[in-house]
Structures are given as C-alpha cells and as structure tokens.
Structure 1
Amino acid sequence: MKWLSTLRGRLFALLAVLGAVTALAVAGATYFSVRAEADALFDYQLRQTALSLRDQGRVAPDEAAALNDPSFDYVVQIWSLQGLELYSSRPQGLTEPLPAKAVLGYSDLRLGGQAWRVFSAATPLRVVQVAQPLAVRQKLAAVAALRSVVPVAVALPLVAAALWWLIGVSLAPLARVVQAAQSGHANALAPLPSAGLPGEIAPLVEAFNGLLGRLATAFDAQRSFVADAAHELRTPLTALKLQLGLLRDAAPGPQQDEAIARLRSGIDRAVRLVEQLLALARAEPGAAAAAQALDLAALAQQTVADLRPLAERAGVALHVTAPDVLPLEGDPQALRSALRNLVENALKYGARTVEVSALRGPRGAPLLRVDDDGPGIPPEQRERVFDRFQRGEHAGVEGSGLGLAIVRAAARQQGARVVLGTAPLGGLRAEIAWPDA
C-alpha cells in the first residue's frame, strides 16, 4: 500500500471512497425506485385484467386456454354473488380457492404458504378476482431494478480510472517541481518551476524559491568574501615573508632594529586584518547573535576609554556624550566592534576632533553617532564604501577596507541601520539607528 503514502494516492482513495458511496446511494435509490415502479406496473396489470374480465361477462375458450397456461403468472377466479365458483385458473399450484368474500380493490392474502397480491372487481352478477404471487412479482421487479443499476456498476471502474488519470494530470506541475529539486546538484540554487501550480501549493514553492534566492545571494557573498580575504591575506603574508628575509640578512645594529620594527608592524597589520575578518564573519546574517540586555551609554563610554590612548598618540581630541543609562537589547561585542571601527576610521583618515554620542532619536529609539572633522566621504560614494575591501580615495591610508562593512553587518544583526551624512564639524557623520520604539 505504498501508493497511499503519496498525495496522488490519498486523493484518489478519498475521492474513490466518496464516489463509491455516492454510486451505492444512487444505485440503491434507483433500485428501490424501479422496484416501486414495477410494483405499480404489476398492480396496474392486475387491475386491467380484472376489469377486462368483468366487462366481458364471460371467459372465451381461447382466453381460458391462455389463463390456464402454466407460464402465466396470474390466477383468475370468478364467483357468483351467491358464492359459487364460476371459473378458476390455477397454474401456480394454488391448492385452495381465493376467498369468495373478496375485498374490492387491492389486498394481500396468504394462501398455500405463499403471499399473494389480489385485485377484486364486482358487477351486479359476479365478482372477478385476479391474484399474483408476491414472490414472482418481487423477482421480476428485482431483475428490472438490477438491470437499471448495471450501468452504474460498469461505469464505476471507468470513472475510477479517469479519476486516477485526472489527479495525475493535476499534480503534474508538482511532479515537475519534485523532479527539478531532485535533479539539482548540491550547489544548485536555481528557482524551482512554479508555472501551473495549484493555488494551495504555489505560495509554498514561491516561498522556497525566495529562500533559495537568499541562499544564493549569501553563498555568492561568501565565495566573494573568501576570494577577497585570500587575496588580502596574501599581500601581508608575502610582505612578512620578505621582511623576515631582510631581518635574517640584516647586520646587527640599526639596520636590524629597523627590520624588526617593519616586521612587527607587518605582523600587527596581519593580526588586525584577521581580527576584522573574524568580526565580519561573526556579524554576517545568520550568525548567532548573543542578544542580551545592555547599557548603550556605558558601552560607548567604555569603548571611547579604550581608544583614548590611540587618539592621544595621534593628537586627536576624542569626546563622548551619553546619558546616565540607555538600555538596549543587543550583542555588546558586535556593537563595540562597530563603534571601534567608526572611531578608528575617523582617526585613520586625518580627523582632529571626534565626537561620540549615545542618545535617543527623535522618536525615542536608541542612536549611536560618531562625528568628525576629517575629509568626509562624497555623497555619491557613501553607499559604495560599505562594500568589503573597499578603501577610500586616500591612497596613503593603510587599511583593509573592512571597517564600514563590519559596521553595517553588525548593525543589521542588531536590527539597526547605518546612515552616513555630513557632520556639523565638517567631516563625516555616521549613525547606527534602531527602529522607532
């Protein structure tokens, strides 16, 4: 019964049961209807026979011979008003006569161990009775009724076969979807065919196609990220290898110290690049976010405190403005990484003043803002700088081009968005804004 586990099999079984019940109901109704009509017809024959004999006045010899024919299903008896039997035909083996005192019209009698249907008609001189065994008429009625049911019985398997074929035709688009899903290889993310699908299944396939589209986008981004990361890592690693060779060949003294300093600087850049790659991977969509209750004001103050030595070495004034408490649900590590990247970008690109603000927006939602007085970013480039490994136009600035990509990914993970604009200080304003409360 494996076919019952399929949608086609279940639909066929349910519709077949429904069709069989309907056919049986129709056949039963037809059977009883035909039997009732046959009974009415036999009753009519009884009445017509009795009335014709009543009106004739006597039974002709040829009629008497016909009435005595053993194949004739009726018994005819004619009585005088005094109760004398004037005529009787008994081809059915009736051992006793019909009662002389007849009930005019239709009646049911039991004579000789048989049930009889009788019609009696009277004239001023005699009584005519015509009787028929109920067993005979019931048999004839049943045969007529069964003949009317035979077409239904013959049509039932044909209807079942047509039903099986129609269900298969109706489910053919779904079968194509299944075949397309099974024929694809592990990396096939092409949308499944949705043409001709029933209205109940089309939304499911469309939703699945949407999921496949998002997966394809994520996989493409992942492949691009891996390729770009491999390219970006190759450069510092090659530089480290060259600096290590220079250090090995350098003579002890100032030359060796300079080689060691370059090697240390190269290692720091490689470590920083790896840290940024890991931060970006943690902030990617789908990565597990350790959401917890936090204080955005305290997080901003702590991050600025950690970066203050770096700002002082660069001669940059770093300020923070925050209320006493600014509660928020989010991932503190991701937010700290995003704020750190925004401040470091400002320091790296020549800002002399950086102002960090943690506050509530116009509608009460949390807002994290970083303003600087640096060169800023032209409006036409502000969307492009969020791409991975996309550096600004300042060629002399070292970096991996991952800072703003990490900021956007971390903000999206928290349900926020990043907006770039022009700061009142003249440089860049970067805001991480949460939805309205």
Structure 2
Amino acid sequence: MTSIRTRLSALLFLAAILTALVIGVVTYREALKQNEELFDYQLRQIALSLRDQGVAPGQAFGFDEDMPDVVVQIWTANGAMLYLSHPGNPLFTRAMLGYTDIRAGNRLWRVYSLATHDRIIQVAQPFDLRRGLAASAALRSLTPLLAFAPLMALLIWWLVGSSMRPLRRVVREVEQRDAHSLEQVAEFDLPDEIAPMVKALNSLLQRLQRAFASQHAFVADAAHELRSPLTAVQLQLQLLERAPDEAAKEAALAKLHEGVNRATHLIEQLLTAAQTDPNDRSAALKPVDLAELMRQALSDVFMFAQQRGIDIEQDGPDKVMVGADAAGLRILARNLLDNAVRYTPEGGKVRVGIIDEASRVVLTVEDSGPGIADEARKRVFDRFYRGDSTGQTGSGLGLSIVKNIADQHGASIDLGRSVLGGLSVAVNFPK
C-alpha cells in the first residue's frame, strides 16, 4: 500500500501542476494579446512618423531590405505610388483606414492605413511573423513558472513529511512496546486528524489493561477457591478408604459425592464467569423471547428445587421479546434461579415475574430466603463474595456472572426486599 506521505505529495503536486497549467494558459493568452496590441501600436506609430515627411518617388526611409518584418507603402491622393519599402513583397491594391487583415501573396498581413491631406500611408506586417514573436515573448514569461515546478515538488515533499512526523512518533512508540506494555501513548503535539485515533488507541489500551488486571485477579482468586473443595474431596476419599464398616463407607461416600458436586458446581461457575467478562462487548444482540428463556432456565433448576421442596411460580406474558444474546441471557436466568433456590430454606417459595413496559422489560426473581443486608448489597456482585450465608454451598460467583451479563446487555440490576420475605432481584432491560 502506498504511504500517506507519497500519496499526499503526489496528489498535491498534481494539483499544483494543474493549477500552474491553468495559470500558464491564462498568462500565455494574455501575453499573446498584449504583444499583438504592442505590434499594432508599433504599426500605427510608424505610419504616424511618416505622415509629415516630404516624399519623392523612389525615396528610401532607411528600412532594412533584408528584414521584411514591416512593409511600408505610400500613395498620393490620386493613387500614384510614392514609396514601397520592399519591392519584392506583394502590393496591397486597396486601403481601408485603420487596422485590417489582408491576404496577399499567400500570407495573411496585419495592415494599418492612415490618410493625410495629400497621401495614404499603409504599414503592414506578416501575421505569422507577429504570432511567432508574440508566442516567443509569451513563452519567455512562463519560464519562471516552469523552473519553479521542481522546487515546488521538493517543498511539498518536505512539508508533507514534516506534517507526518507526529504520526511516525506514535508508530515508533507503539512498535517499541511488548505485550505487557499497556501504558497510554503520549497525546501531546498531535494534529487534529491524528489525535482522535490516538485517543481511541489509548481508550483500547485502558480497557485491555482493566481486562488483564481483572483476568489476573480472577485466576488468582479461582486458584485460591479451588484449593478448599479439592482438598475436601481428597480428605473424603481418604476417609472412604479408611472406613471400618459399611455404614462408615456409605457416610464417607455420601460426603464424597457432596464434595464432588460442590467442586463441579464451582468449576462450572468459574468457566461461566470467565466467559462473561465484564469488559466483553462482542456479543451480538438479537430479538429473543425472554419468557421462553425463563421457562428453559426453570427446567434446568427444577430437579434441584424439587429435591429441596421449593415451590417455583412464574408470572407474566407468554412471550416478551428483548434484544439479547440468547446464550448469555439463559445463563443470567439460570444463575438467578439457582441462587434463589440455593439460599431459600427447604419448603420455601421462589417467584419469577416478567413486566413488559413501554420503555423497558423487567425480569424479577424473588425468594423467601434470608435476603441480603442493605450494607452488603454493594459487595454481592464481587467475585467469590458470600456474605453471611454460612452453611450454603454457593460459589460466590452467581450474582457476579449476572452483573457481567447485564452490563453486556446495557441492563441495570436492582436489589430489594421481596414480599416473600427474602431477596428481590430486578433486571431492567431497555427496549
């Protein structure tokens, strides 16, 4: 691809050449016209200089016979020839006062005729000779313009290169960086055309820096969180191996199953949290039936709710369309329901509602659990935060995943107290 400097220099030079050509043509035509007027003035002055001189037949006025650029002939009032400067040139048999163009001897002549009280003076000049002299003078006037063209090309090349210097500085600064250098690029002394690009680049670097920091923190937290369930599984396996009788083995095996389930749930949540990074905006939003997605999410947690004797109700229209990523929205719904079922005591109740308003769609999930204290609601969206819900088997990632997916959809989340006595979560999707 051609460089911007080369392209701009070539285009500016072509524009300058076209402008110079237009100026040259106008200058040439104007110089030609002025030279023609000068030659006409010269013919008139010659005729005027001869009007008062006494003339005898055959008298010469000192015109050079070898330079037939001007032909002079003088008649008496009755038509007798008094003088002819160049006998070898064709005679003009008629005289029209003033300036005229006459063809004689296969040449076109520019003639000026002047009448006095006793004679007629006629001064003529060949048209081709006049035109050649005028063209030569006009071309000489264009010589400085032609000589300026190379200097103009060098000046344009230097000016464009000087203007591109800030861009080359930005390029060098970016080229010297590695994958871990995410500091912002210096924005000083940048042209208005380049400054928006550098600001956009700095904004991208800032988002990447936040994303990398979030991922590093997530990996560290995940490694820490995985140690406990894996250690518990290892200990329960040792207890199973050391069980003295069948009853002890069955109890150890039940604990082992519980530990494996907890570790499996944690790993699933970790994978889901990694896929729903808060800085990710790549999901394509398409029309999705939120009511149908909630029914699918209900089917996902139905067996778990049935085991704990929890009643789940769904209220709202049968079909509500929102702009969303179907896979992400189903994860959001399933995590809300999973949290509600997990933290609701056995025999409790969970209610799901969908409200279709003019400017938004509100998804609500309420439970009859212990709820969340007002002072802890700002922290529940942090990864691995479990609050005071001791004895529960949650991973502390559910609401964090919900918040990430909501941010990707431009939705807001409101936490409150449910009429059932527990937590109420309302997700507001813009229409």
Aligned residue number for residue 401 of structure 2: 406
Give 1:214's aligned amino acid: R
- How many residue pairs match? The answer is 422
Aligned residue number for residue 111 of structure 2: 118
CA gap 1:345/1:190 in 2 versus in 1, 3 angstroms: farther
Ranges in structure 2 where 5+ consecutive residues have no aligned partner: none
Residues 139-171 of structure 1 deviation map (CA, whole Å, 9 limit, x = unaligned): 221121111111111122222222222222333
Aligned residue number for residue 10 of structure 1: 7
Deviation at 1:384, TM superposition (A): 1.5
Ranges in structure 1 where 5+ consecutive residues have no aligned partner: none
Is 1:154 the counterpart of 2:147 in the alignment?
A: yes
Residues 352-401 of structure 1 deviation map (CA, whole Å, 9 limit, x = unaligned): 74431323166585433333454432333212211111221345544421
Matched-pair contact (CA < 8 Å) for 1:244–1:263: yes
- Pick the aligned partner of 1:423 from 410, 418, 431: 418
- Pick the aligned partner of 1:31 from 28, 33, 37: 28
Deviation at 1:201, TM superposition (A): 5.1
Matched-pair contact (CA < 8 Å) for 2:415–2:425: yes
Q: For residues 260 and 134 of structure 2, what CA distance do their matches in structure 1 show?
A: 106
Aligned residue number for residue 75 of structure 1: 71
Matched-pair contact (CA < 8 Å) for 2:283–2:408: no
1:78-89 mapped onto 2 (5 Å cutoff): 78-89=74-85
Give 1:35's aligned amino acid: L
Is 1:56 the counterpart of 2:49 in the alignment?
A: no
Q: For residues 289 and 76 of structure 1, what CA distance do their matches in structure 2 show?
A: 94
Q: Which moved more, 1:288-297 or 1:121-130?
A: 288-297
CA gap 1:377/1:77 in 2 versus in 1, 3 angstroms: same
Classify the secondary structure of the residue corresponding to 2:308: helix
Q: For residues 298 and 100 of structure 1, what CA distance do their matches in structure 2 show?
A: 115
Classify the secondary structure of the residue corresponding to 1:117: strand
Give 1:378's aligned amino acid: A
Q: Which moved more, 1:232-241 or 1:242-251?
A: 242-251
CA gap 1:301/1:234 in 2 versus in 1, 3 angstroms: closer
1:346-365 mapped onto 2 (5 Å cutoff): 346-347=343-344, 353-360=348-355, 363=358, 365=360
Aligned residue number for residue 135 of structure 1: 128
Classify the secondary structure of the residue corresponding to 1:388: coil
Aligned residue number for residue 381 of structure 1: 376
Aligned residue number for residue 281 of structure 1: 274
Q: For residues 286 and 214 of structure 1, what CA distance do their matches in structure 2 show?
A: 11
Matched-pair contact (CA < 8 Å) for 2:341–2:350: no
Give 2:40's aligned amino acid: D
1:240-251 mapped onto 2 (5 Å cutoff): 240-251=233-244
Residues 24-47 of structure 1 deviation map (CA, whole Å, 9 limit, x = unaligned): 111111111111111111111111
Is 1:226 the counterpart of 2:222 in the alignment?
A: no
Residues 376-435 of structure 1 deviation map (CA, whole Å, 9 limit, x = unaligned): 323332122111112213455444211211222344455543221223455432223322
Is 1:185 the counterpart of 2:178 in the alignment?
A: yes
Matched-pair contact (CA < 8 Å) for 1:296–1:328: no
CA gap 1:132/1:434 in 2 versus in 1, 3 angstroms: closer
Classify the secondary structure of the residue corresponding to 2:79: coil
Classify the secondary structure of the residue corresponding to 1:384: coil
**Normalized against structure 2, the TM-score is what?**
0.83
Residues 229-260 of structure 1 deviation map (CA, whole Å, 9 limit, x = unaligned): 12221332233334434444454455555544
Q: For residues 62 and 231 of structure 2, what CA distance do their matches in structure 1 show?
A: 125
Matched-pair contact (CA < 8 Å) for 2:72–2:85: yes
CA gap 1:386/1:25 in 2 versus in 1, 3 angstroms: same
Matched-pair contact (CA < 8 Å) for 2:298–2:337: no
Give 1:268's aligned amino acid: N
Classify the secondary structure of the residue corresponding to 1:79: strand
Q: For residues 282 and 354 of structure 2, what CA distance do their matches in structure 1 show?
A: 27
Classify the secondary structure of the residue corresponding to 1:420: strand
Identical amino acids, percent of aligned pairs: 42
Classify the secondary structure of the residue corresponding to 1:39: helix
1:197-276 mapped onto 2 (5 Å cutoff): 197-199=190-192, 202-252=195-245, 255-276=248-269
Matched-pair contact (CA < 8 Å) for 2:335–2:402: yes
Classify the secondary structure of the residue corresponding to 1:98: coil
CA gap 1:112/1:363 in 2 versus in 1, 3 angstroms: closer
Classify the secondary structure of the residue corresponding to 2:372: coil
Classify the secondary structure of the residue corresponding to 2:303: helix
Aligned residue number for residue 102 of structure 1: 95
CA gap 1:341/1:176 in 2 versus in 1, 3 angstroms: farther
**Normalized against structure 1, the TM-score is what?**
0.82
